[in-house]
Amino acid sequence: MEKPTEIMVKQTRLSLAQGDITRQNTDAIVNAANSSLMGDSGVDGAIHRAGGPAILEECKQIVARQGRLPTGRAVITTGGNLKAKYVIHTVGPVWHGGGQGEPELLASAYRESLKLASQRNLTSVSFPSISTGAYGYPVADAARVALKTVLTFLQNETTSLKEVVFVLYDARTYETYRVALEELAK
């Protein structure tokens, strides 16, 4: 039987795709940013490159207004030139071995992003695999936290979201998330 790459959670479809998140046409895409919100390498760099200077301009205004973005929190800006109307910037934890609150902080990054999307009445949002690149979070552990957090949110919160997509860049990450979703859907 085909392994699940999507499940329905109440009215919302939760699915996995392999690809480049900057090409997604969901209402919002989520950026795995850092606290400075200045754009860097990885998915953060790709989003700023594809979206153009309007995103960085708004990020600067946010930091001027409220300071650096703490780990586990999220803010929203324009999507600039992207197909997505908005970018939700969140900061995942740096992996220090798992004993420094990393799972809770990673869960918070997903939850706060979903809350923002719901507050803005968005119907669709795409996530990358937060923290599993430069920040070194082991992918299998991160996948379990990510999927479980989204699933729990969709089960328990009232939300406008009809579609949540994980856009995984490489085949190994995609496969790891697929196995984690399969486990979770059992």
Q: Which residue is nearest to ligand APR (CB)?
A: 133
Q: Where in 99-158 is the site for ligand APR (CB under 6 A)?
A: 128-135
CA 24 – CA 43 distance, rounded (Å): 13
Answer yes or no: 170 catalytic: no
Q: Two tokens at 149?
A: 């957090």
Beta-sheet strands, E only, within the chain: 6-9, 12-18, 28-33, 74-78, 86-91, 124-127, 163-168
Using the rule CB under 6 A, give the single segment among 26-34, 57-65, 70-78, 147-155 that binds ligand APR. Answer: 26-34
Indicate the SS3 state at residue 179: helix
Write the DSSP symbol of residue 51.
Answer: H
Told to check if 33 binds ligand APR by CB under 6 A, we report yes
Other beta carbons within 10 angstroms of residue 135's beta carbon come to: 20
Told to check if 167 binds ligand APR by CB under 6 A, we report yes
Told to check if 90 binds ligand APR by CB under 6 A, we report no
Q: What residues pair up with 167 in beta bridges, in sequence order?
A: 17
User: Exactly one of 20, 27, 40, 44 is catalytic; which is it?
Assistant: 44
Told to check if 176 binds ligand APR by CB under 6 A, we report no
Query: Which C-beta is closer to ligand APR: that of 50 or that of 161?
Result: 50
CB of 48 to ligand APR, least distance (A): 9
Binding residue for ligand APR, selected from 57, 104, 170, 183, defined by CB under 6 A: 170
Binding residue for ligand APR, selected from 32, 74, 87, 116, defined by CB under 6 A: 32
Query: Which C-beta is closer to ligand APR: that of 110 or that of 135?
Result: 135
First to last CA, the chain: 14
β-strands 12-18, 6-9 pairing:
antiparallel
Angle between helices 139-156 and 102-119 (to 10 degrees): 40
- Residues found near ligand APR in the complex (CB under 6 A): 20-22, 32-34, 40-46, 92, 128-135, 167, 169-170, 173
Query: Could you give the residue numbers annotated as active site?
Result: 44
